[in-house]
Amino acid sequence: MPEKLIKRNIEDSLLETLSDTPIAVVQGARQVGKSTLTSMIADKLDCRQLTFDNPDILLAAMNDPVNFVNQYPDGLLILDEVQLYPDILRIIKLSVDQRRQPGRFLLTGSADLLHISKANESLAGRAETIKLFPFSRGEMNGTKEDFITDILSGHVIGRLSEFTPLTRKDYAELIDYGGFPAILDRNARRRDAYFRNYLPRVLDHDAIVISNLSHTDKLSKLFSIISAETSGIFIQANIARKVGIPESSIGGYIKLLQDLHLIHMLSAWGRNLAKRAVSRPKISVLDTGVACNVNGTHHEFLADISGGSAFGPLLETFVTNELLKQQTWSDAGHSLFHYRDRENREVDIIAELPDGRIIALEVKAAASISRRDFIGINYIRGLLGERFCCGIVLYTGVEAQQFGDRMFFAPISTIWR
């Protein structure tokens, strides 16, 4: 069945970038829909679209890069999978410097073009990068969700009576499903088959193409460990020991998985405010569907209470990922962090606004609420005073209520409904 054409919520931002910036760069994991997105852009603009996945196109670029880059001077040249020939970035930079006008190049990459070892040009001052994630829940539902902006508008409770409540089973299915476009119409068996073929392509092929690291054969084990411990505090020595890579080297392999858009780090917040705050980031997979496949942890297991130990971290990762997706198009410019201190007070997600205000979000797998769920949020509220905008415990229950001064609880589905 052909892939469904679903409007991506960053499309408007991408068109805006092309209206005033010479180079737009769309980066994301393989098969998240970069080529489909650029094809949608191509339908709206005068352009020529080429991909370096095509060996003939790649050979032409390598043989005569200057004429290749300047082949469509009066329109937009779209180049897909640029990480396969990063030297082209230098030629693109020279072309833009000779004729600087908006909307000249749209580049896509399945690896971070600014950090891969074989790239020699950052395109600083000439390019704007937009990250493309797997589908968000809002995109699948045909909406442009923006939870942080909704909170700032006073819509914490929302219009919940209009929606069917979700159960633990529903959330387990969403976690297992993930957001890759190619799996939209696949059953569980075919989704597993897709990921069994997807990961080796990325870890055994793409990683070698873009990296000079010695032990890329250990990437699969490293990714499996991160998938099993998703949303955990990143302790470099522990992961290095489990993978069998020297601690002094493990950082390069973690960075490679980040550059391949398979994992992300959620930085710690609060070091300047709370002296006892822990400074280590959290490390997570960027798609829970991939993690479930790697772990063999599917929704039937997660939906059962016996799967609780796996369900909680995967649920937190799922929520964090949805908010990371929304961040790319949110009207409320904000940064995302986590908080934990040496007294084990923690808040799963901290959204910091440009003016310094904070929104604190806690994710709970339970379908009921207790006072203990607000310990971390309450501490942050006392620490910040008026800078504390609000705190919300997101849980698998169905009610949404206020729980004190600027504190609420609400169903997890509130973030995209």
Q: What share of the chain in percent tops pLDDT 90?
A: 72
Per-residue pLDDT tens over the stretch 262-302: 999 999 997 566 566 788 999 999 999 999 999 888 888 88
Tell me what pLDDT residue 343 has: 87
Confidence of residue 62 (pLDDT cuts 50, 70, 90): very high
Q: Residue 304 — φ and ψ, nearest 5°? A: -85, 145
What phi and psi, each to the nearest 5 degrees, are found at residue 392? -135, 130
pLDDT score, position 117: 47
In this predicted structure, what is the pLDDT of residue 205?
84
Lowest mean pLDDT among 85-99, 258-272, 332-346: 258-272
Mean pLDDT of 366-389: 95
CATH code 3.40.50.300 region(s) in the chain:
11-131
Average pLDDT over residues 376-391: 94
Which pLDDT does position 302 carry in this prediction? Answer: 86
Backbone angles phi, psi at 125, to 5 degrees: 80, -5
Report DSSP letters for 214-277, one per residue: S-GGGHHHHHHHHHHTTTEE--HHHHHHHHT--HHHHHHHHHHHHHTTSEEEE-B--TTT-TTB
| 155-167: burial string, b at 16+ Cβ within 10 Å, e else | ebebeeeeeeebe
pLDDT of residue 40: 92
| Separation of alpha carbons 45 and 39, rounded Å | 10
pTM for this predicted structure: 0.92
Please give the pLDDT value at position 4. 57
167 pLDDT above the threshold of 80: yes
The tens digit of pLDDT for each residue in 126-166 reads: 999 999 999 999 999 999 999 999 999 886 665 444 566 89
Q: What is the rounded distance in angstroms from the CA atom of residue 321 to the CA atom of residue 291?
A: 13
In CATH, the number for domain 11-131 is 3.40.50.300
- At 298, list the tokens: 């599917």
CB 321 within 8 A of CB 291: no
- pLDDT band of residue 1 (cuts 50, 70, 90) is very low
Residue 69 has a CB neighbour count (10 Å cut-off) of 23
pLDDT at 153: 87
Query: Is the pLDDT assigned to residue 225 strictly greater than 70?
Result: yes
